[in-house]
Structure 1
Amino acid sequence: MSKFAVPSAYLVIPFFSPGAVLQDDGEKIFGEQYLLYDILADLPDLPKPWQQMESSIPLLLKRWKDEHTSIAQLFRERQKEAAKEPMVRYTAYLLSLLHWLNGVPVKSLVHLYDGLGQLQRKPVNVEERLRFIIAQPAHHHSYIQLAELYEEAEKLFYKALAMQKKS
């Protein structure tokens, strides 16, 4: 198990605070530590999920499908603070998904919106919608937006797969 200091390009609240440390569990490609493979993209020994979107993106989508109802339940029970951590985690997974869909890792959270602006495959108004979610992850409306973004991203993924098979 290796530990790494989070680079300054990723120190953006609510994802990472100054002094944050990543821990590579070495076992699961998508452990609880989000953005690990994006942050450590330059290390040659780690998997590059953005180069294998056919296998990596379905794993992210499955995680969302398995967990999103529990997040919705927290909001129904008005447990906003309990919902915040999974909202942040699944927002980070969505950021990875959107970048991997375009064949690139998340290169920075500090310049996130510039990076999103350069992506070819992305949901409509994704930058504006993510600004809202990231600013207020403990709000029910943020959950609704996140769920819609996952739905739209899934459609974009299957469209990209279909286009890839055609060519």
Structure 2
Amino acid sequence: MKYALPDQYKHPLFYPSDCIEVNIQDPKGFSPYYAADLYAFHEGEKPWENLDARISAIQNEWQQLSEKVRPLFEGHPEKTYDDMIMGISLFFTLLYWTNEKHVSVVTWEKDLSGLEVSIMNAHERISFVMKRPAVYFSYIQLDEMFRELAKTSAKFAAIRKRKRGV
């Protein structure tokens, strides 16, 4: 399935500005970057309505990616770049979905101030990882950010369920 690529995904780290469409093989998967969000955006779905399962899927995807990337930093850090970019896209997906929004990687810096669920020092930490994705310390930081956001998002999900009487 080919989908038009809205401007909100056109950050040079993920897609060049002249990219106009993306081919999505698995609408529930995460490849290419933001595939599940892009699919949901075009189909009018709200992936955060089934957030528990989605959080689990994103965390599993990151865990597999993390296990693949970690050993590469010892001898071949240049081979980590694409996987780290995928990891960053997974993090943004988790961050936005937890806040019941579609991803907008182009406006993430502005959006941070309005997000109810986030992490400590989000702007500095995310910026660091995005500027140096193929550096071991970026991997460590991204892994910590995932853990922190997963805990925070689980807490907020439980609060939201109670408020909605689910």
Normalising by structure 1, we get a TM-score of 0.86
**What secondary structure does 1:68 align onto?**
helix
Q: How far apart are the structure 2 equivalents of 1:18 and 1:166?
A: 42
Deviation at 1:116, TM superposition (A): 1.9
Q: Which residue pairs with 1:15 in the alignment?
A: 14
Amino acid at match of 1:8: D
Q: Which residue pairs with 1:127 in the alignment?
A: 123
Q: Which residue pairs with 1:163 in the alignment?
A: 159
Q: 1:96 to 1:31 in 2, by over 3 A?
A: closer
Unaligned 5+ runs, structure 1 = none
- After superposition, the CA RMSD in angstroms is 1.9
Q: Which residue pairs with 1:141 in the alignment?
A: 137
**What secondary structure does 2:23 align onto?**
strand
Normalising by structure 2, we get a TM-score of 0.87
Once structures 1 and 2 are overlaid, which stretch shifts more, 137-146 or 151-160? 151-160
Q: Which portions of structure 1, spanning 4 or more consecutive aligned residues, are displaced by more than 3 angstroms?
A: 37-42, 164-167
1:39-78 matches, cutoff 5 A: 39=38, 41-43=40-42, 45=43, 47-77=45-75
For residues 16-71 of structure 1, give each alpha carbon's deviation from its aligned partner in whole angstroms, at most 9, with x where no partner exists.
1133341121x34014112134345543x364312321221110011111221211
Instruction: Assess if the C-alpha contact under 8 Å between 1:37 and 1:48 holds in 2.
Output: no
**What secondary structure does 1:52 align onto?**
helix
Q: Which residue pairs with 2:2 in the alignment?
A: 2
Q: 1:165 to 1:47 in 2, by over 3 A?
A: closer
Q: How far apart are the structure 2 equivalents of 1:142 and 1:109?
A: 18
Unaligned 5+ runs, structure 2 = none
Q: How far apart are the structure 2 equivalents of 1:87 and 1:128?
A: 17
Identity %: 26
Amino acid at match of 1:90: G
Instruction: Assess if the C-alpha contact under 8 Å between 2:92 and 2:105 holds in 1.
Output: no
Q: Count the aligned residue pairs.
A: 162
Higher relative helix content: 2
**What secondary structure does 2:70 align onto?**
helix
Deviation at 1:2, TM superposition (A): 1.9
Once structures 1 and 2 are overlaid, which stretch shifts more, 29-38 or 142-151? 29-38
Instruction: Assess if the C-alpha contact under 8 Å between 1:37 and 1:47 holds in 2.
Output: no
